[in-house]
Amino acid sequence: MAAEVERCCWPDQLADAVGDVAQPAATNILVLGMGNILLADDGVGVRLIERLQMQQRAGAVQFIDGGTLSFSLLEFMQVADAMLVADAAELGAAPGTVRVFENEAMDAFLRSSRRRSVHEVGLCDLLDMARLLDCVPSRRALMCVQPASIAWSNVLSPPVADSFDAACLQATAVLRRWGGS
């Protein structure tokens, strides 16, 4: 069964989302994989960046296994022009559903519920700290995968594993638009 893949954007970003607006290449692209690989689907973000890193040319993008590191990731954000974050999140959708939220849509999604993550300090908190320091990347995207299980396991659940290729394609498309292919 194919994974459900959605792209979520505000109306003023629809042209950009479909690639109609030319953008200069980002010079510093950060890709953060969030989650705990010992909690089944919570580790999907880390697993995704491992795959993406193998597919990208050397030096084009900085990949960081953010795990559950929280505020220590701020130093990487401070120098990024663009940031893609991959994580498991409660989407209220079928397990394995993939959604990409870009720019203001990402901010709105994160603000809609402070605790969409099992991490003690979440991405929303990290972005709030970056706002205080005026270092939020001008281009940002959040790729979310609806988990089926966050029980103790180092294996992704079948629905999340089935959505893995679709999630990688979505992430690659975002990186290409930003000049990180």
Query: In angstroms, what CA-CA distances link 61 with 26, 27, 37, 78, 85?
Result: 10, 9, 22, 15, 13
The residues, ordered by sequence, that sit 6+ positions from 90 with a Cβ below 8 Å of its Cβ are 113, 116, 146, 147
Number of DSSP helices (H) and strands (E) in the chain, helices first? 6, 6
pLDDT of residue 162: 97
**pTM score:** 0.82
Q: What is the pLDDT of residues 19-55, one digit of tens each?
A: 444 567 778 999 999 999 999 999 999 999 999 999 8
Q: What is the pLDDT of residues 88-145, one digit of tens each?
A: 999 999 999 999 999 999 989 988 865 555 554 577 888 888 889 998 898 999 999 9
Helices (H), the chain: 14-17, 44-55, 74-77, 104-111, 123-132, 158-177
Query: Is residue 17 pLDDT above 50, yes or no?
Result: no
- For the chain, the structural domain boundaries read 5-9+26-177
More confident residue, 166 or 70: 166
Please determine, looking at this structure, whether the domain spanning 5-9+26-177 carries the CATH number 3.40.50.280. no
160 token code pair: 């999340």
Stretch 160-164: mean pLDDT: 97
